[in-house]
Amino acid sequence: MLKGSIVALITPFDNGILSEKDYVKLIDYHLENGTDGIVPGGTTGESPTLSHKEHKKIIEIAVRECKGKIPVIAGTGSNSTEEAVELSQFAEKAGSDALLVVTPYYNKPTQEGLYQHYKKINDSVSIPIVIYNIPSRSVIDMEVETMAKLYELKNIVGVKDATGDLNRVDKQLKAMGKEFIQLTGNDDNALEFNRRGGVGAIGVTANVAAKLSSDFQKSCKEDLKKASELDEILQPLHSSLFIESNPSPVKYAASLLGMCKPTVRLPLVEIKNETKKKVTEALKVAKLL
């Protein structure tokens, strides 16, 4: 169920307010272009600056628009375990197919603290949970041993690995086996990630290159030569979308394609002119603009 090109969906704003109309339009774009799953309320969706009401609203919209078509993997992580539990229970009740739960940021829990955090969420719901391991944003790194211990729990099914360390794919495969779902959180390493045993990506680039990203992921399993060719086309876009803090560049790219406004919420700001040029050039390389 959780494989291929899964998009970490941006959250569109209009004059600082959640634009439900544009959110539906974005989801329709993915349904029409082969995206294999949608993550509402992840980091790319600016979850840190969404109100609880807004966060719940985008989950509800995603479920309503996607149900029966592609899975909704709701972003429900928090550095407060109780808050993560409450949001996870809400997402399950709303009809989400799975949860994406980021490692608790800022608190810097020990490995045992990480285990207990996820265990409490696991024990509070009955749908699949994907661990989101991203040390660059959360400061902590979940060790493979901790992940293996969590995999013994009923609902923990996989990881969105944003460590950038491809050797982790091998270690996690050895520790948890082929049934453990490994999804990369780094668009730029997806080709090698899949070669080593990964089954897809929860990516940013798919926001503006849904069909290319979907075709690339399918080719990774069917035609590696084609996958390599598509990867070469996508690499400039991957790079340009991370010159400045995500999701500012991808929101600008989306604005160029008429998907939504480039607005982000403070403390994020819109990208510099020099970055705009690079994003524009990358979109042209990919023949999206």
Which residues belong to the active site?
132, 160
CB-side neighbour CA atoms (13 Å) of 81:
15
Residue 227 CA to residue 5 CA, distance in Å, equals 13
> Locate tokens 């704003």: which residue?
13
**Of the candidates 220, 223, 241, 219, which has an alpha carbon nearest to the alpha carbon of residue 286?**
241
Helices (H), strands (E): how many in the chain? 12, 10
Residue 150: count of CB within 10 angstroms of its CB: 21
Sequence letter at residue 161: D
Rg (CA), the chain: 18
- Sheet hosting strand 200-203, strand order edge to edge: 37-39, 4-8, 200-203, 181-184, 156-161, 129-133, 98-102, 73-75
Pairing of strands 13-14, 17-18: antiparallel
Cis ω before 135 (30° cut-off from 0): no
User: If 0-12 CB within 10 Å is exposed, 13-18 middle and 19+ buried, where does residue 211 land?
Assistant: middle
User: What DSSP assignment string belongs to 91-133?
Assistant: HHHHT-SEEEEEPPTTT---HHHHHHHHHHHHHH--S-EEEEE
